[in-house]
Amino acid sequence: MASKINWENLNKMQNFAKLKEFKGTVSLAEKLGGKNGAARVAECSIPMSSGLTYNYAAKQVDSSIISTFKALVKEDQLLEKFAALYNGEVVNTGENRLVLHQLTRGQLGNDVMADGVNKRKFYVNEQKKIAAFANKVHAGEIVNEKGEPFTDVCQIGIGGSDLGPRAIYLALENWAKANKTFKMTAHFISNVDPDDGAAVLNSIDLAHTIFILVSKSGTTLETLTNESFVKNFLKKAGLDASKHMIAVTSETSPLAKSPDYLEAFFMDDYIGGRYSSSSGVGGAVLSLAFGPKVFDRFLKGAAAEDINATNPDVTKNPALMDALIGMYERNILGYPSTAVLPYSQALSRFPAHLQQLDMESNGKSVNRFGKKISYVTGPVIFGEPGTNGQHSFYQLLHQGTNIVPLQFIGFKKSQCGKDVTIQGSTSQKKLCANVVAQIMAFACGKQDADPNKSFAGERPSSIIWGEQLTPESMGALLAHFENKIMFQGFLWNINSFDQEGVQLGKKLAKAVLSHETDGALKAYSDIFGI
């Protein structure tokens, strides 16, 4: 299949050039503000899995633009490129690696053989090992050195080993408690700042906590430093660290067969950190916190959304449509950033995860062959839950000089089922009313004789909505954005699966700690007494 695919820069595509003709041709005020607004909302809805719907009615696209999108998908072979990825071709050109995170939750295409093993079977086996371990902990068969049960779990990791699992844990914590599947309270230590580790360790019951060290290589400086920090706390508390720690790592890392851990679970180089939440990186902490069955439901939601991403019809493929609109906004309309705005407190850390997922993947200025590109790529991603954001940065979003595309997420029902009616509506209804109002306010604006109270409108947004945030819908949300980012990387002809941009700072930090500095680097080091 690789020989049939042409990996070309976006500006080589005839249909990309055609898209430039449509700039400024779609008015959101006209599309949504008139009598045909309801029909527009209906026709711009794409069903997702797990009860979710992606709606792009408030985006600056029409049938002519979408028709060009369809032609671009064929011209740029986007679905063929996705098939090459999930069938095990080397898509990560920077590191000469396969990209297999979809395999951790399902089988889209052919069996993938690598390193002499069937990778799908490998991932399933590791999930089974994690499930068995978690079940033994919950049953009291695995206990601390005093024979007492574990009540808490704490993950030690950074970047993709923290942001995704933490976001998903917070997303499902209330749901698990309401549905009586909550097993253990989870905590996370990520920052090498000792105040972070101390704050967590001082707030938990060390004697009844399992610690998960997550490091694929077993050499990540921040993570190993935090491991030593935790072990020191355990030692001072008179506890045997080897009875409290497990590892998620690669089979070749120094952590794999160490007596310092109760158990080790394995991943491999084909699962990038920011794409690892559906692997053992997320599986261990989420299975311990909520039970393996809940984690399995999460995986099923992600797998179902991966299948949606293979649909060749753009109007039935939510991740592909989202990616194309995002490219159009970035490369044709010139919008530099995107705000992710979940109207769900449970998704409070999901924007932070998407920030890493998107910006670490598509923050590139050379193509997949190392050649400089002449067009912009990944946007700046930021966000906060609504309605908090409305009282923070929405002022700039409504009336600032830059137009920022918006990605709303909302649910009809809360997770906990507890609410109160005040002034004729519940808290959840008020939350939903706010997201509906914001979509229309951004799109249509408001004219006023006082320029300070005038809103230009024409601020585009999309929304993903569903009945309730559940394990399945959380998995579907994660897969949707992973696949959107993948498709955009294909469009921009960049490698979305390496991250050389994080390496230079690490190397310089080692030089500083080794006192191998001079000039300005030494001067800055001296400020901190290093």
Active-site residues, by number, are: 360, 391, 506
Residue 114: half-sphere exposure toward Cβ, Cα within 13 Å: 22
Structure tokens at 18: 């055609």
Give every CB contact of residue 382 below 8 A, 6+ residues apart in sequence: 337, 339, 340, 351, 355
Give every CB contact of residue 152 below 8 A, 6+ residues apart in sequence: 184, 185, 186, 187, 204, 205, 208, 209, 210
Residue 37: half-sphere exposure toward Cβ, Cα within 13 Å: 13
Answer yes or no: are the C-beta atoms of 464 and 408 closer than 8 Å. yes
How many CB atoms neighbour CB 293 within 10 A? 14
Q: Which long-range contacts (CB under 8 A, 24 or more apart) does 496-505 make?
A: 496/361, 496/362, 496/364, 497/91, 497/92, 497/94, 497/95, 497/97, 497/99, 497/272, 497/275, 497/361, 498/92, 498/94, 498/95, 498/272, 499/272, 499/360, 499/361, 500/94, 501/360, 501/363, 502/159, 502/360
The 3 state secondary structure assigned to 58-91 is CCCCCHHHHHHHHHHHHHCCHHHHHHHHHCCCCC
Q: Give CA–CA dist 511/201, Å, rounded.
A: 30
**Which helix (DSSP H) or strand (DSSP E) does residue 200 occupy?**
helix 194-201
Burial state string for 399-436 with b = 16 or more CB within 10 A and e = fewer than 16: eeeebbbbbbbbbeebbeeeeeeeeeeeebeebbeebe
**Which helix (DSSP H) or strand (DSSP E) does residue 156 occupy?**
strand 152-156
Nearest to 485 by CA among 386, 404, 406, 381: 381
Answer yes or no: are the C-beta atoms of 98 and 114 closer than 8 Å. yes
Q: Give CA–CA dist 496/358, Å, rounded.
A: 9
